[in-house]
Amino acid sequence: MPLPNRCLLIVFLTGMINLLASQNVARPPLVITTDESWEISGARVRVHEYPLSAEQLTMPLFGGSNRPTKAEHNPLAKVIPGSTPIWRNRTADTEGEAYHLRKTIPLGPDPIRKVTLEVNADDVARVYINQRLASAENRDGTLKDGYDKWFTFRSISGFTYNRVYTYDVTDYFFTNVTNTIFVEAVSLAFDGSHAYFSAKLVFEFNPIPAPPKQVKQKPAAKPAPPSAVTPPAPAKPAPDKVIFEAGRDPEMDQLKVGSILELGHVFFAADDYRLDTTSYRTLNALVSYLKRYPTLKIEVGGHTNLRPNDAFAAELSANRARAVARYLTDNGVNHGQITHKGYGKSRPRVNAVNKAADKTNQRVEIKVLEK
């Protein structure tokens, strides 16, 4: 290739690379299905008609951790396409046989747009994501004759072999951490019959925001003569701020759209999104407040101190806001009343880095969107 043409090609390719690098390109969807890489308890478990406690969910699997086997299934079963139906053995040994299954999923910094869970099982199962029981609002009340004793279990989260249940579990997952899927599955089949669990998770991502472009500062303009100076416009008043904590509920007439409720006594461990138990008293009071005023719509906003880098601060604040919003909805607040957003370190109260400033800046605030 002649030298001028080669130079033109290099310039063209360089330009294309720079163009692609400047675009916010979302990560392709991540698909997780049941297969033989999951873990399963080495021994059967006793299943009760109520969900597992947090302690039970974090204990080692009963009988040790084993790998599941590809299980047989009814020809009419609606096994999730692309998944492997799994169980401890190819078929059930006894009626009421139960096992625990687990899968860990590390997620990076890519912002989560949506996570969809599809489940099919023979016969019933509970699904926990990060120790939170998946909703059963899309499940019907169909019961098999003779299995009424499982009604309570099934009403929490249960599935049948000829049904596929689809759930939006977006708010169950967190970025920059390893997420845990825990399944409690039961076969109600007779001896030697089929038993399996089949599922698929599809993660859709938003593009990681591009860092802000550095703008060159223009030289300061020369001050105008005193006679030509325009008086500054009056500053807009900041939204009203109200402290919210247990025993200190504001009256509705104190609030307006844009009002900020500062949550007292809501804490997180350093660089973590998990709520400290001392936060529950304030959050429980907020739950009662939102139930008392069902037309009140709010945004849960997370903020960090100025120490972390921009990307970490954005993800940490988003996860903390999501954790608070999730606590509220888990305790009965209508999903339609709550949105959540992470502001990173973009809105510090104090522009400083020290213990006092850190404590002031790392916070969760409630903004009134609609009364």
As given in the structure block, the two tokens for residue 328 are 């509220």
In tens, the pLDDT along 155-176 reads 444 556 788 888 888 878 887 7
Measured CA to CA, the distance from residue 46 to residue 43 in angstroms comes to 10
Residue 238 has pLDDT above 50, yes or no: no
3-class SS at 262? strand
Q: How confident is the model at residue 221 (pLDDT cuts 50, 70, 90)?
A: low
The residue-averaged pLDDT of 235-256 equals 68
Q: How confident is the model at residue 42 (pLDDT cuts 50, 70, 90)?
A: very high
Q: Which residue has the tokens 């998770």?
A: 201
Cα separation values, 52 from 57, 94, 223, Å: 6, 23, 70
Residue 276: CB atoms within 10 A of its CB come to 12
Stronger pLDDT, 144 or 51, i.e. the higher one: 51
Which tops the pLDDT comparison, 55 or 199?
199
Q: 115 burial class (0-12, 13-18, 19+ CB within 10 angstroms)?
A: buried
Question: How far, in Å, CA of 248 to CA of 235, rounded?
Answer: 30
% of the chain at pLDDT higher than 90 = 30
The token duo for 159 is 């599935």
Partner residues linked to 244 by β-bridges: 263
Give the model's pLDDT for residue 218.
60
Provide mean pLDDT across the span 306-319. Answer: 88
The residue among 56 and 149 whose pLDDT is bigger is 56
Residue 34 has pLDDT above 90, yes or no: yes
Mean pLDDT for the chain overall: 79
Percent of the chain with pLDDT over 70: 76
- pLDDT-derived band at 115 (thresholds 50, 70, 90) equals very high
Q: Inform me whether the pLDDT recorded for 21 exceeds 50.
A: no
131 C-beta neighbours (distance < 10 Å), count: 15
Contacts of residue 310, Cβ cutoff 8 Å, sequence gap at least 6: 211, 344, 345
**What pLDDT score does 280 carry?**
82
Alpha carbon distance 3, 355 (integer Å): 61
Q: Do residues 164 and 120 touch, judged by C-beta distance below 8 A?
A: yes
Q: What is the pairing mode between strands 124-129 and 177-187?
A: antiparallel
For 95, the 3-state DSSP assignment is: coil
All domains in the chain, ordered by first residue: 30-205 (2.60.120), 238-370 (3.30.1330.60)
Query: Average of pLDDT values for 259-270?
Result: 80
CA distance 197 to 67: 14
Binned at pLDDT 50, 70 and 90, residue 64 comes out as: very high
15-34 exposure pattern, b = at least 16 Cβ within 10 A, e = fewer: eeeeeeeeeeeebeebebbb
In angstroms, what CA-CA distances link 30 with 20, 116, 207?
A: 22, 11, 14
For 286-330, give the secondary structure using H, E and C: HHHHHHHCCCCEEEEEEECCCCCCHHHHHHHHHHHHHHHHHHHHH
Give the Cα separation of 223 and 238 in Å (integer). Answer: 29
* 45-49, 72-76, 93-97, range with the lowest pLDDT: 45-49
Question: What is the rounded average pLDDT of the residues 212-228?
Answer: 56
Which of 195-199, 249-253, 340-344, 362-366 has the least mean pLDDT? 249-253
pLDDT of 54 > 80? The answer is no
Q: How far apart are CA 196 and CA 76, in angstroms?
A: 14
Cα separation, 33 vs 180, whole angstroms: 14
The pLDDT of residue 203: 96
Q: What is the pLDDT of residue 144?
A: 44
Give the number of residues written for the chain: 371
